[in-house]
Amino acid sequence: MTLSHVRIVGSGLIGTSIGLGLALRGVGVTMVDLDQRAQKLAEDLVNSPSNASVDLVIFATPIGALASVLDSEYAANVKSAFMDISSVKSKVKVEVGSSKLPLSRFLPTHPMAGREVGGAESARGDLFQGRPWIIDSQGVDADVLASATELIELLGGQLVTLDSKEHDQAVALVSHLPQLVSSLLAKQLGGGEERWMELAGAGLRDTTRIAGSDPQLWREIITSNREALMPLLQALQSDLAQLISSLEDESAVAAVIEAGQKGRQRIPGKHGGKAREYTYLPIVIEDKPGQLASLFDECAKAGVNVEDLAIEHSPGQFTGLITLALSQDGAAKLSSHLKVQGWNVHTPRS
Amino acid sequence: MTLSHVRIVGSGLIGTSIGLGLALRGVGVTMVDLDQRAQKLAEDLVNSPSNASVDLVIFATPIGALASVLDSEYAANVKSAFMDISSVKSKVKVEVGSSKLPLSRFLPTHPMAGREVGGAESARGDLFQGRPWIIDSQGVDADVLASATELIELLGGQLVTLDSKEHDQAVALVSHLPQLVSSLLAKQLGGGEERWMELAGAGLRDTTRIAGSDPQLWREIITSNREALMPLLQALQSDLAQLISSLEDESAVAAVIEAGQKGRQRIPGKHGGKAREYTYLPIVIEDKPGQLASLFDECAKAGVNVEDLAIEHSPGQFTGLITLALSQDGAAKLSSHLKVQGWNVHTPRS
């Protein structure tokens, strides 16, 4: 089968991005939102009307708004397939289970798409390209699964099957816990003197970056997934208590840092493969337009691919340290190449 | 006065980097280390012998090794000035206070230099260029202060005066607490299924980056600064307990995220100024050599300065999302410029 008309209930970033992606591929789309302004914007952006009957209804509302639309959407589109896109899944299954929409007609899904905050105006049709898109297909009718799978593949998502409970545990660990820990850490900065903040380095910046996230978005995600989060927070609490009680014991402190190193090594590197061992090449650059361009130009000339990079700026003066993550060979090649060109290249480290 | 001969006790990264920086500026340097291999390497690298009497002795050993060298170094260089470079200061003052070296002859200092892990072989003479270099000058003789200040300025460090107790509180908050929190978070990953790790995004990677740090280095820093760390860890513990007890309360959860946002905003931006409001421009690039070069080339052509950047790779396929942090004007200018050139530029967000 081929999707001809998809109805998207919720015109935020995710809903509208799905609409844009489908429209680009010639699928008819109806955008719906309680907020008339959002709906109008999404309709204008997506602009792919259809008179065909609806094949697939996507719930792209906040979790809290789901209950209010389930029955009416099912009644109006009784032959359609249904799916959602919310970041917590067990709670959604409970909501659907207590509505008129049969669970066999509904596929719980979660696209792990890069969050660019902000409604229909931030939507892009390629938001899901190459990103994992989790589905829980247990007990779902084959035609519903086929429609949803077709949609995910059309949008370039990478299908990952996890049951809802496991999904919620996984995102609690790799996404929700880091959010809370970063927020709790950044909260502690409130107690420091302003002049201390001038001493902040890349470590503090990195650990607190996601503490800048939107409280309105996260309050719902955290509370909806509290069942999976609770044991993780309690394990953290227990580890923290133990650290506090053994803060003068060098071996106990080293054990915490070592356990952290091991945990960190579990995170896979680029392209979903195993964690790669990069070699890091530090280069001091002048902080003005054109320096990064020249540097990357040299990388291209040397035929070296930059795997990742970090920029650290010196306070009070206009030089900066850029650290490139490279393969070992790449680092050696680039280091020689840049030195010949007069760049201020430091010793690579792995 | 002008430094003619500096004796550096400890030939690790910091000690050897100081030696290199001084040698480049014509100052005589003697490198010392308990480890003969390290001393030989540092001597060969620095290679700036002197027959003049020693003006300044720098203790660049681990904190734990300090006690064993204080008396002998003072006895051998009784007219010299003395300073150290360790990352915890109160404990060092106590050590010196119970040695024969008078506190008036000793300046406690701490260069906040980018840590490239790894001994004399990783040393660079420009390691301290533009980095804050904290001193505690209280009760220190004017000639000692003058020698140390001359050294710091020679090496391009930015002099910051803080008393030792305040120094230890400041680094506990902006450096040691983030290290422990990152390690504790990464430790929790040990409890997750391997397939969950494939779902990790930039948030988890950033928050756990410094969890990769060296346990041998950190065990000593943490235990030496436990007095300043303890109240911070206890405040974190109390906030965590409160969060756990109110995990189903959306307002309580939102309050934590909001407090984190406020704390995060206290961290100053580039060049030590106030936190800047950047505009973030997302661009989808193909992941192959030359793409970043071309992109930065376009930034230069558009006359736009890149303030910061992040790269996120899509798992399983060879495209990547690069997000540039720019001024608002810069983002608008660059966005138009890149679109004309056919780049896949997304909507900027602030």
Contact list, B306 vs chain A (CB under 8 Å): 292
Q: Going by CATH, does the domain composed of B166-267 fall within 1.10.760.10?
A: no
Q: Tokens at residue B65, please?
A: 């090794």
Residue B200 has pLDDT above 80, yes or no: yes
**pLDDT tens figures, A53-78:** 999 999 999 888 999 999 999 999 99
Nearest CA among B267, B175, B289, B292 for reference residue B222: B175
Q: What angle do CA A291, B213, B216 make, to 5 degrees?
A: 135
In this structure, of A60-64, A264-268, A296-300, the range with the lowest mean pLDDT score is A296-300
CB atoms within 10 A of CB B190: 12
Report pLDDT for A317: 40
| Residue matched to tokens 């071309």 | B294
Report pLDDT for B273: 39
Residue B239 has pLDDT above 80, yes or no: yes
Kindly indicate the confidence band of residue A108, based on its pLDDT and cuts at 50, 70 and 90.
very high
CATH number of this structure's domain B279-345 = 3.30.70.260
Residues 87-106, chain B, touching A (beta carbon < 8 A): none
Report pLDDT for B81: 98
Residue A252 has pLDDT above 50, yes or no: yes
The bridge status of strand A81-84 relative to strand A106-107 is parallel
As a whole number, the mean pLDDT across chain A is 89
In this structure, of A77-91, A197-211, B48-62, B230-244, the range with the lowest mean pLDDT score is A197-211
B130 touches chain A (CB under 8 A): yes
Kindly indicate the confidence band of residue B245, based on its pLDDT and cuts at 50, 70 and 90.
very high
Q: Tokens at residue B81, please?
A: 């000035």
Q: Is B138 helix (H, G, I), strand (E, B) or coil?
A: coil
Task: Find residue A109's DSSP bridge partners.
Answer: A135
CATH number of the domain at A5-162, out of 3.40.50.720, 3.30.390.10, 3.40.50.300, 3.30.565.10?
3.40.50.720
**Torsion angle (degrees, nearest 10) of CA B291, B297, B303, B304:** 30
**pLDDT tens figures, B65-87:** 999 999 999 999 999 999 999 99
**pLDDT tens figures, B254-286:** 999 999 999 999 998 643 334 456 788 888 777
A190 touches chain B (CB under 8 A): yes
Contact list, A176 vs chain B (CB under 8 Å): none
Residue span(s) of chain A under CATH 3.30.70.260 come to 279-345
Kindly indicate the confidence band of residue A321, based on its pLDDT and cuts at 50, 70 and 90.
low
Residue A140 has pLDDT above 50, yes or no: yes
User: What DSSP element (H or E) covers B125?
Assistant: none
In this structure, of A166-175, B36-45, B52-61, the range with the lowest mean pLDDT score is B36-45
Report pLDDT for A80: 98
Alpha-carbon torsion B197, B199, B201, B207, what sign? negative
A282 touches chain B (CB under 8 A): yes
Kindly indicate the confidence band of residue B127, based on its pLDDT and cuts at 50, 70 and 90.
confident
Residues 239-258, chain A, touching B (beta carbon < 8 A): 239-241, 243-244, 247-251, 253-254, 256-258
Distance of CA B29 to the CA centre of its chain: 25
Q: What ipTM was reported for this prediction?
A: 0.76
Q: What angle do CA B345, B334, A313 make, to 5 degrees?
A: 105
Considering only the beta carbons, identify the residue of B208, B235, B270 that sits closest to A313: B270
User: CA-to-CA distance for A124 and A16, rounded, in angstroms?
Assistant: 8
Residues 30-49, chain B, touching A (beta carbon < 8 A): none
Residues 302-341, chain A, touching B (beta carbon < 8 A): 303-306, 308-309, 311-319, 321
Highest mean pLDDT among A163-177, A195-209, A273-287, B260-274: A163-177
How big is the A-B interface in CB pairs under 8 Å? 466
B164-171: average pLDDT? 96
Residue B260 to residue A185, Cβ atoms within 8 A:
yes
Residue of A nearest to B344 (CA): A126
Contact list, A118 vs chain B (CB under 8 Å): 349
Distance of CA B15 to the CA centre of its chain: 16
Residue A128 has pLDDT above 80, yes or no: yes
Q: Choosing among B109, B314, B321, B339, which should be mutated to test the A contact, i.e. which has the most A CBs within 10 A?
A: B314
Residue span(s) of chain B under CATH 1.10.3660.10 come to 166-267
Residue environment code for B254-286, b if the CB has 16+ CB neighbours within 10 A, otherwise e: bbbbbbbbebbbbbbbbbbeeeeebbbbbbbbe
Considering only the beta carbons, identify the residue of A211, A295, A300 that sits closest to B264: A211
In this structure, of A87-91, B309-313, B324-328, the range with the lowest mean pLDDT score is B309-313
Report pLDDT for A312: 58
